[in-house]
Structures are given as structure tokens and as C-alpha cells.
Structure 1
Amino acid sequence: MASNENLAPSSAEGSITPSSNSNSTKPSSIPTKPFINRHNRIYIHEPTLLYPLPVDLAELHRQSLRTLMLFQLFGGPTTAPEFSNKPPSRVLEVGCGSAFWSMMCHRYFAQHGHSSISFTGLDIVPLVGTGLDQNWKPDKDMRWRFVQHDMRRTPWPLADNEFDLIMVKDMSLSNSMRDPQQFFEEYLRLLKPGGVLEFWESDHTIRMLRPHILKKSAVMKPDSDSDSDDSSEEEDSTEKLGAYIMTNNTPLSAPLNPFLVEYNGWATKALDARGLSAVPCTLIGPHLLQEADTLMDVRSKRLAVPLSEIRWEREGVGGVVTKDGKSYIDSMKGKGRMDSRNDKPRGKSLTTSQAALRRTALETVVGMILCLEPILREVSGKSQDEWDGWTGKMMNDLLREGGTSWGECLEVGAWCARKKLNTVV
């Protein structure tokens, strides 16, 4: 468990002049206590902040695992096709935290021969390095600048039209996605004409993926003009990773695992009380489309990552009886392999890499549940002993006993849009 010594003391806001070196903005004052210990976890010491998660090393590690998983699912640090051949020159990571995404983005493009990208991280407190060493940067050869600022205070201390790419990753618990207009105004102000605004996000409640066969023609991204060949190739690539592309026809329902049923109810109620959404993936696309006067080429990719091997995958879709006693698809329609003993179609076992990806998704979900302990305990009414007993049983069921084999999954997504040329914000 991390203590205050594991986290850098905070540096306050200072100069905002863009720079090509890696130094942070110079502090003008230092808060006396930027972090606080509650329930044996370290939190940001700001009573008015909505953010419910701790910021200790255990949580930073969980977030890094989630980022690595998304990198693998999305094929790199950005889904925007604009950067397939020419990388962005100036990048902003909003709510950068430990700056792990920025570091991985730098390494990705450096491996492809592009090492001169300038990165800026914006956050309310420095979570690693910066406060102890003004020359700290996520990677030794990065062009890095950290700007400490509370996003709720606008305008942010950054220049107009400064960035080619603005990444907003896992920020739904930092501010309300129900009314994000003031943040969108800042994103659009800071983004260069022709630049890309991208969101990566995960839902905080869990649904169950029903037995289904995804038709190749149904993989079209709803906000894109991709052709069916590209969509089929994308589906094949996603399936090889162990995930499923989500469409409007993807059959999803409430989970059957009793612990996740309880968690969903508590999380929805607790987050709603803070003005936060438990299902931010449903909100980002509409918000981007509402900015049609300024943004164009809105694209999205949503994926369902099962938390383990699913029974209907292993046994074959046909004939799978769900908990309500009904079979959702009666035949494999030629899919899957044939069981040589009875000539019946059967499903496929997971590869090692597919199992590893799903295990990562599961561990980050369990970690999220543990991180939300204070607000979940409050709405559940459980005492500390009762909570400890519940979490012990929950972890044993999910991590050891295959409690998600009905199809419980983590839903993630990436959304990007390009700022129109000659746009004045």
C-alpha cells in the first residue's frame, strides 16, 4: 500500500509559456497537504472534487494495466486515421495522472521513427516525479511539459490552437459527462484546425454479452464511411484479440453474477449522487455530434471484452441454455468446428493471448470495485466487517471460480473527431 512518500508533493500553477524542453511549469505556491489518507488509501485532498478513486500506486498500476489493454485493442495510442502516416507534432493528455499514456504514445511513435513529438500533461496534482524533480519526465528522451491546473477553472493555462491531438482518457469520473460543455469549449479552443480530439473510456457497470453470431456486414462503424471489407478485417482482428465489436444489434443484458448485480446497483446509485455517469460510453458520441459546427469526421469504435471464457464460446452458440431457460440462437449457421464424436458444432477454446487480455480486463474491474469502497459502502449500508466479507467472496467468485462465464464483459470505446479548418472558437 502506498503512503504519502510514494507520491510527489504538489507543485502549483506557474508559467504557461509553451516550451520544447521537459521542465514542468514553475510553482508559485505549494499546497500544504495535496493528498490525504482515507480507508488506508491515498486520495487527492480536495473536498469539492467529484473524483472518487484513490491515487496511490495500486490504483496507478490498475490504470496502467487498463491503458495497456486499450493500446492492444485499439492498435496503438490513437484510433485517428489522420496519424497513420504523419504523427501529431504537439499532444495534450488531459488528466494525465502518471502520464503513462503519454509515455506509451511517445514510445510507439519513436519506434516508427518519430521522436520529436512534444507532449503536455494537464492535471490537478502531479502524481509522480514532477513535484520532486522539475526535470522529471515519463521517458528519458521525451519532450515533456506538465501543467498543474484544476480543470474546473476555465480557461485552462494553455494557448489557443496549440495541439494536433488532445487525448481525453478515462476522465468520466473526474467531471460530469452529463454537462461537459465548458470542457468541450476548452478542447476546441486548444485544438488546431485539422487537429483531432479523441476520447478513450470504459463503462463503470457490467453487462452480459448474450450468445450471438456477428454478421460481417454488421461491423460498420455507425459514424464512419468505412467499407465492408475494412469492417470485416477489423472484426477478424478484434476477434483474434478475444474481444467483440459492439453494434446496435449486439445482444447485451444485465449480468447473472450475483456480486456484479449488487455492484451495478450500488455503483449506479453512488455515482449518480455525485452527478457522474455509470455508463459514460453512451454519452461521448452524442456530445461529439452536437459539436457539428466545429467538429467533423466523428468516428467511434466500441468493444465488449468478456471477463473470462464464456460458456457459449466453448460449447458453441447453438443449444446454449441461459439462466431463464431459453436458447437465444438455435444453430451455429456453419460457424465453429465439428465435434468428431457426434458431428455437432462446438466452440473454440481461448488462446493464451486471448485469455491474458480477458484476465487483464477482469483484474481491472475487480480493482475498480475495491477502489470505490467508500462510496459503495455508503450506499450499501455495509459495515467494514460486512464489506470485507463481501469483497472476499466476490474476489474468490470472480478470480478463482469462473463467476463470469455467462458472458459478463467490460465495455470500452474510442471516439475521435477532427476540428474543421478555418474554425474560429
Structure 2
Amino acid sequence: MPLEDRYGLPLSTSSHESASAYREGVDLLLAGWTGTAEVLERAIAADPDFALAHIARGRLHAFYQQGDLARQKAALARELVAKRGDDRERSHVETLALAIEGRPPEALASALKHIDTWPRDAVVLSLPLGAFGLFAFSGMADHDQARQDLCERVAQHYGEDWWFLTLYGWAMTENGNVARGRAVTERGFSLRRQNAHAAHAVLHAMFEDGSIEDADRLVDEWIPTYDRAGILHGHILWHQALGALEHGDAARALAIYADVLQPSATKAPPLNIISDSASLLWRLSAYGHAVPKPLWVEADATAQELFPKSGLPFADVHMALFAAATQDRDALAARLAMVEQRLSDGKLPAGPVVPAICRALVAFADENYAACVRELAPVLTEVVRIGGSHAQRELIEDTFLVALMRSGELPRARSLLDARLHRRPSLRDTRWQAAMA
């Protein structure tokens, strides 16, 4: 009998030690837990020809933007699986390799085809899901619906699996089915508490239903169990900082930033570094709180090193935040030119919303709030195309709200804010009182 992964799929290794380490490594990978790299390296050491262990290690390299190492692992995995692997493993390796190589449309098509045949291949299924997944970064306006649809299509194959419930629940939450999504996510979390993606998904549900105090307690109780080196450690505390801002507590938000989010303190992957730092500092400023200039300078310098160029709209928008906040005209002009060139070349699936957001951000930084409103108003419903989560994208709506207030369009701002408070009735108005001052 062949050895199998945790989902009953055969593995092309005869080493019990390698198979065991691979199963553990995949669980850690799917949970966003520390120790993943070490366990996968153990699987490789026990069987250096085991392709799936190499490609899983490559995916982890890719999370941290270690492109050369990730591509080397992908190339090696392709070579190994061609010699010793069945159709499922060859398709698995090819799909992950396409994602690692920065070929998202091909990777998404390959993942969906693979899932049709092998729905219980959780590592491949994870690719289209989540806020930074292939669906989210596809430029689709309906990627939230696409994630939920995909999960519903394969739900019968997973039952009460802790990982699947987490992602399925989060997909529902992001698609507007918040009560059901929170219940499903919390069920998955209860099955495995050492699951950073579950804690994160529950926080998103609490953000959407306005349970800010519940979220604060969850972070306080759970975060001591999670090492600072964890891939989501800083981002989970970013959620707590957002909660502090909901109640106007800028000092606490800045303390969280200094502790785990600023580049000199964080151990997060590059995309989280720039998005968490830029969005929190921008929100603080937009809500009327003072942000020490050195914080922007340090974060901007790191961002310029990590993303001097980008084909990823989500990253481009956050780089525009840095350029606008630091009044770096040259950087903003260069970023806009890159974005507009990709749009002109038909290589920007997210479409015109990206340059529109960039122009709006510089208008906001120039205190030309009427111009910011003019740029954002036509594209607000298209912001979803840049990817990320609703909590992350709400930054753009927040900017629009503050621009309305500061340009004197208070009735329009109040109408938009009332609609948000209707969706999330337990929210307080504290931050908007500061913004309107």
C-alpha cells in the first residue's frame, strides 16, 4: 500500500519518515504556523527525491518573496516528479510551480482543473482562496463569490476538516454572508486552535459584524500561543490596532505598530510589511491623529527596497500611499506611469481603478479633497478588483469618506457612514468625530 497524505492521496515516497514529516509540514503550512520550513526540510532530508516536499518548501519561499530559492525548488520538483510521480503529483507540482513563477492566470486555470479531478488536494485548493490568493489577485470583480462557489463545490469532500472549514467560513464572510461565515470559521477554529489562518478569519468576521470588543479579547487570549515569527503574527495584531482606531485610541494603535508592525520590528512577509504599515499609518493620519514623520520615512524606505516595481495592483496601491504620504512626487509619478503603461498594454486585469486610486491618494495628500472625491467616486464599486480583504480595502472607502467631510460634503459623507453603521451596528463614531474636527 502506498503512503498517503492526510487527505488520503497517495504519495510517491516509500520513506515513512519523509511522508510523516510532509503530512506535518503541510498541516503547519495550511495553519500558517511556525516550524513549517524545518519540518519540510526534514521531509526532504529523509527522501531527497520527493517532489511534493520540494514544491511545498518552494511555496513557503515564495510567501517571503525569496524568488530565486522558490523558482529553484519549483524547477527541481518538476524534474523529480517527472521521474517518480503519478498524474496527481505532476499536476500538483505544475500548478504550484506556475504560481511560484508569477504566472497567475495559468496557475488559476491549472488549479481549477486540478481540483475538478482531485478535490481533496488541499495544498492546490489553498491557492485560489484567501485574501492574497489567485482569485483575489485575478482582477475579477466577483472574486469573493468565486471563492465561496469553489468551496461549496468541494465541501462534500472535506466534511469537518479544520482547515477547510476555516477557508470556507472566511469565503462566506468576505462574500457578505457574515453570520454563517463566522459560525463555520469558529467551528474550524475549535477543531485546531493552533491555526493562525483560523484566528485571522474569525477576526475578519468580527470586523464585519462590528464585534470589536470580542476581537480584542480574542487577540489578547490567543496571540501568546503564537510565535512572533509566525507568518500572520503582525497582521493579527494589525487587526487589533484597527479595533483601537474604531474607538479613537491612537496611542494604542501606534504602540502596536511600534511593537510588531514597523519594518524594524516585524518578521512578516514583504507584502504584509508594506500593506500593514502603509494602511495603518494612513488611517491614523486620515482620522486626524498625528503620525511621527520618521515612521513614514522608515516604512517608505523599506517599501522601496521590497517593491521597486510591481505587477501587483494591491502592492501598487500601497506604494502609492507611501509616495503620497511622504510627498515623493517622483516616486508617485513613476508608479503611476508603470500602472498606466500596464493598463495601456492590456496587462492590468484590475483595470482603470488602480491608476484612479493612485491619483486620488495624491490629491488627498495635497489636501485637494474635492479632486480626491472626483477620482474615487466613479470607481468605488471597482476597488474590490485590487484584491486583499474587505477590511484592507475599506481603507479606500475611509479615504473617500474623509475627503467628503473635508470638502464640505457632510450630508453625503453621513449617508455613506450610516450605511456602514447599519451593516455593523456595534461600531462607534469616535474615529469619525476626529476626522470631522
Question: Please, what TM-score do these two structures have when normalized by structure 2?
Answer: 0.28
More helix by share: 2
TM-score, normalised relative to structure 1: 0.28
Which structure: greater strand fraction? 1
